[in-house]
Amino acid sequence: MKTDTHPKYFADGKIVCANCNHEFPIGTTKEGIRVEICSQCHPFFTGKKVLIDTEGRVDKFRQKTAKATGRDKKVRKKKTLEERVNEELAEQLKKERSK
C-alpha cells in the first residue's frame, strides 16, 4: 500500500465568518476556512432583514447607471429596401464606369 495518501487532518481547525468574525471550531483537512456568511449573522437564522453587500455590487450598479444616464443614445435610421438597392446600383455603376 502507498504511504501518505491521506491529507493532513487538523482537529483544531476553524471556520471564520467574514461578516461577523465569529469562529467555529471544526475538524477538517484545512487549518482555517473563511466564509462570507454564517448562521450567526444570516437573516434566515437571526430573523433580521439585513442587506449584505460584501462585493460592493449595488454601488457598482449605481455607478454604471449614473454613467449611462448622461449618455445620449445614437439613433440609427434604418435604411429602406429602396435606399439599399439604390446604393448597390450606384456602386455597381461606379465599378462599370471605372473599367
List pLDDT tens digits, range 66-89: 887 766 666 677 788 888 899 999
Q: Is residue 86 included in any domain, yes or no? A: no
What total number of domains does the chain contain?
1
Q: Is residue 91 included in any domain, yes or no? A: no
* Dist CA 91 CA 83 (whole Å): 12
Cβ proximity of 19 and 52 under 8 Å: yes
Q: Is residue 60 included in any domain, yes or no? A: no
Q: Is residue 64 included in any domain, yes or no? A: no
Query: In the prediction, which pLDDT does 16 show?
Result: 94
Q: Is residue 23 included in any domain, yes or no? A: yes
SS3 32: strand
Query: In the prediction, which pLDDT does 13 show?
Result: 92
SS3 91: helix
Instruction: Determine the structural domain holding residue 31 and report its residue range.
Output: 7-55
Q: Is residue 82 included in any domain, yes or no? A: no
Q: What is the DSSP letter of 18?
A: T
Residues in the chain where the model's pLDDT stays below 50: none
Here the CATH number for the domain that contains residue 45 is: 4.10.80.400
Cβ proximity of 13 and 32 under 8 Å: yes
